[in-house]
């Protein structure tokens, strides 16, 4: 009797120390939809987001390795330049070999939007939209909408200032209200319509660009820290192209309900 | 000891065989479709291509060009496998446009501000270039509303008639993907309106992006020049 108890404790300890991940790496959690006011401050219109499912963790190196074994066209040496630039999986030793310093349970990075999209499609999932991602990310541990929680926002901004967070394991930050981990503090994440953020130095070029977002006016109207953190995310999205592969940019998948 | 000897002998035989194999493939001449209709499929005997019916040619005779397009094709939009509906309700893939210089713009038909100017620019470019071997492609960013019928009516209204004008409807997903190939940005801002970047892109005959004109009301001289030189 005592013995089995010990084995149970041992097993639990083993699992935690070896994987550090509380649950199935491919698990998804339901996120309840709702109204979201997109960052770009002066625009008071809200967008509606439907219920959806979101991966509990960002996709890991190990998961991505499995993917490229099954889909060789996405291996480092095979990926076409139009879909992934030269930095694609740049730290991998070989087509089917992670870099020696890389943790299999760290989030995969240096992956392009095309690659992330293909990965999710192959799992019968898809990338979350910007609005879905933002909706899930505004939840703190206890509150589904912590937009106005200054401590939560402070933490997000601080996490942006911390270098090399992409080498941590998935699940090593916090679990939010929806049971989803690492929305902030590990890596930036691709979204399906990241290129819906319009910016350009010359607003003339962008038709009706979200000028509020990037001209000086926006910085002035960004009156609190929440805007500041969101501002950074939107600016980042506006600055990248779909074949970019960046060291601190990973992804997770979503699914419609 | 004896075993080791046998093993060494065996590996020597294997090694020789390996080289022999390689030599053999080098010797036997392979044939390929000069248009590479079935990608890079090669044939053991001379004959005609099953797709374009052209005579097959020796691979060796194409060696250099094959390599050149191989490198280029890595950047080609013909790597996209999405399928599209034209204004004539035909299903096409982008590879069907292979072999022609393409001038491409993304618009939506209910757009009242920028798109009419972009489309006017397209017409203007076509007149200046004045070459029947160039296709002008308009891809809708509002595929839910812009059905083939709607695109057809739009083409008529905007005087985009004739074989050189191709208007395309895709799925939401494929349109998003295509916009990312062009590094073009757009966002639905209301049920009827989109904000979008104004870009006209030029692709060479292999589907590789060669030039982009950004903005409204800019001179299209450089783009016209580019199109002319690519079609030569």
pLDDT band at A150 (very low <50, low <70, confident <90, very high): confident
**Domains in chain A, start-ordered, CATH in brackets?**
27-256 (3.90.1580.10)
Residue A181, φ and ψ in degrees, nearest 5: -100, 155
Query: B195 to chain A: which residues are within 8 Å by CB?
Result: 198, 206-210
**Is B111 assigned a ligand-binding role in the annotation?**
yes
Query: A79 to chain B: which residues are within 8 Å by CB?
Result: none
Considering only the beta carbons, identify the residue of A82, A198, A241 that sits closest to B197. Answer: A198
- What would the mean pLDDT of A78-89 be, rounded to a whole number? 95
Per DSSP, the three-state class of B171 is coil
pLDDT at A15 over 80: no
Which of A45, A206, A211, A244 should we substitute to test contact with B (largest number of B Cβ atoms within 10 Å)?
A206
Model-level ipTM above the cut of 0.85: no
Query: A205 to chain B: which residues are within 8 Å by CB?
Result: 197-198, 214-216
Interchain pair B74, A204: CB under 8 A: no
CA distances from A169 to A104, A114, B26 (A): 8, 24, 49
Provide the β-strand partners of residue A34: A49
Task: Give B196-228 as a DSSP string.
Answer: E--EEEEE-TTSBEEEEEESSS---HHHHHHHH
Which range, of A14-18, A78-82, A132-136, averages the lowest pLDDT?
A: A14-18
Under an 8 Å CB criterion, which residues of B touch A? 74-77, 79, 113-114, 176-177, 179-181, 183-189, 195-198, 214-216
pLDDT at A7 over 70: no
pLDDT at B14 over 50: no
Task: Give chain A as a DSSP string.
Answer: -HHHHHHHHHHHHHHHHHH---S-TT-EEEE--EEE--S-TT----EEE--EEEESSPPBHHHHHHHHHH-GGGSTTTS-TTTS-TTTTTT-SBTTB--TT--TTSBP-S--HHHHHHHHHHTT-BPPPHHHHHHHHT--SS-S--TT-HHHHHHHHHHHHSTTGGGSPTTSS-B-TTS-B-SSSS-EE--TTGGG----SSGGGGSS--HHHHSHHHHHH--SHHHHHHHHHHHHHHH--TT---TTEE---EEE-
Interchain pair B197, A82: CB under 8 A: no
**Is B45 assigned a ligand-binding role in the annotation?**
no
Per DSSP, the three-state class of B71 is helix
pLDDT band at A44 (very low <50, low <70, confident <90, very high): low
pLDDT at A102 over 60: yes
- What would the mean pLDDT of B223-227 be, rounded to a whole number? 97
pLDDT at B23: 33
- What would the mean pLDDT of A43-58 be, rounded to a whole number? 88
Query: A192 to chain B: which residues are within 8 Å by CB?
Result: 176
pLDDT at B62: 57
B78 → chain A, closest CA residue: A82
Which of B94, B141, B185 should we substitute to test contact with A (largest number of A Cβ atoms within 10 Å)?
B185
Q: Compute the mean pLDDT over every residue in chain B, rounded to the nearest whole number.
A: 83
pLDDT band at A39 (very low <50, low <70, confident <90, very high): low
Name the helix (H) or strand (E) containing B187.
Answer: strand B186-188
Q: Cα–Cα distance between A33 and A72 in angstroms, integer?
A: 36
pLDDT at B49 over 90: no
Per DSSP, the three-state class of B21 is helix
**Domains in chain B, start-ordered, CATH in brackets?**
26-74 (no CATH), 77-231 (3.40.30.10)
**Is B52 assigned a ligand-binding role in the annotation?**
no
pLDDT band at A213 (very low <50, low <70, confident <90, very high): very low
Interchain pair B185, A206: CB under 8 A: yes
Considering only the beta carbons, identify the residue of B186, B196, B215 that sits closest to A204. Answer: B215
The alpha-carbon gap from A129 to the nearest alpha carbon of chain B, in Å, equals 11
Interchain pair A242, B75: CB under 8 A: no
pLDDT, tens only, A153-196: 999 999 998 999 999 999 999 999 999 999 999 999 999 999 98
pLDDT at A133: 97
- Token pair listed for A193: 């319509």
Q: Cα–Cα distance between A12 and A14 in angstroms, integer?
A: 5
pLDDT, tens only, B123-182: 999 999 999 999 999 999 999 999 999 999 999 999 999 999 999 999 999 999 999 999
pLDDT at B68: 42
Interchain pair A114, B77: CB under 8 A: no
The alpha-carbon gap from B216 to the nearest alpha carbon of chain A, in Å, equals 7
- Token pair listed for A132: 């879905």
pLDDT band at B67 (very low <50, low <70, confident <90, very high): very low
The alpha-carbon gap from A117 to the nearest alpha carbon of chain B, in Å, equals 9
Most confident of A44-48, A71-75, A230-234: A71-75
pLDDT at B84 over 60: yes
B47 versus A42: the higher-pLDDT residue is: B47
Query: B210 to chain A: which residues are within 8 Å by CB?
Result: none
């Amino acid at each position: 009797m005592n013995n089995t108890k010990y084995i149970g404790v041992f097993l639990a300890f083993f699992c935690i120390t070896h994987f550090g991940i509380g649950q199935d790496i491919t698990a998804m959690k339901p996120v309840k939809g709702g109204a979201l006011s997109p960052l770009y401050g002066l625009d008071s219109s809200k967008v509606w987001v439907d219920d959806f499912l979101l991966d509990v963790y960002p996709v890991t190196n190990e998961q991505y390795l499995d993917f490229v074994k099954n889909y060789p066209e996405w291996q480092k040496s095979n990926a076409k330049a139009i879909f992934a630039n030269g930095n694609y999986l740049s730290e991998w030793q070989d087509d089917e070999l992670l870099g020696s310093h890389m943790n299999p349970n760290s989030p995969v990075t240096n992956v392009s939007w095309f690659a992330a999209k293909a990965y999710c499609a192959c799992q019968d999932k898809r990338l979350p939209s910007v609005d879905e991602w933002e909706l899930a990310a505004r939840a703190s541990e206890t509150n589904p909408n912590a937009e106005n929680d200054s401590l939560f926002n402070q933490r997000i901004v601080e996490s942006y200032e911390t270098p090399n967070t992409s080498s941590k394991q998935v699940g090593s930050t916090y679990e939010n209200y929806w049971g989803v981990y690492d929305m902030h503090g590990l890596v930036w994440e691709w979204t399906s319509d990241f290129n819906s953020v319009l910016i350009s130095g010359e607003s003339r070029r962008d038709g009706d660009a979200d000028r509020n977002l990037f001209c000086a006016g926006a910085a002035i109207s960004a009156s609190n820290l929440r805007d500041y953190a969101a501002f950074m995310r939107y600016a980042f999205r506006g600055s990248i192209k779909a074949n970019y592969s960046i060291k601190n940019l990973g992804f997770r998948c979503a699914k419609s309900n | 000891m004896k075993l080791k000897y046998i093993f060494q002998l065996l590996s020597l035989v294997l090694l020789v065989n390996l080289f022999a194999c390689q030599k053999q493939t080098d010797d036997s001449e392979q044939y390929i479709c000069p248009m590479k209709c079935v990608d890079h499929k090669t044939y053991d005997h001379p004959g005609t291509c099953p797709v374009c019916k052209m005579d097959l040619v020796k691979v060796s005779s194409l060696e250099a060009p094959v390599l050149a397009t191989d490198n280029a094709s890595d950047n080609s939009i013909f790597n996209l496998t999405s399928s599209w509906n034209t204004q004539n309700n035909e299903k096409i893939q982008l590879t069907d446009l292979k072999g022609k210089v393409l001038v491409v713009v993304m618009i939506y038909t209910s757009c009242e501000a920028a798109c009419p100017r972009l489309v006017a620019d397209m017409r203007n470019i076509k007149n200046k270039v004045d070459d029947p071997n160039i296709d002008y492609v308009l891809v809708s960013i509002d595929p839910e509303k812009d059905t083939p019928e709607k695109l057809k009516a739009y083409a008529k209204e905007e005087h985009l008639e004739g074989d050189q004008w191709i208007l395309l409807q895709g799925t939401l997903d494929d349109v998003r993907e295509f916009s990312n190939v062009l590094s073009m940005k757009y966002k639905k801002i209301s049920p009827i309106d989109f904000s979008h970047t104004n870009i006209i892109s030029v692709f060479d005959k292999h589907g590789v992006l060669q030039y982009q004109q950004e903005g409204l009301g800019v001179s299209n001289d450089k783009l016209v020049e580019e199109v002319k030189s690519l079609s030569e």
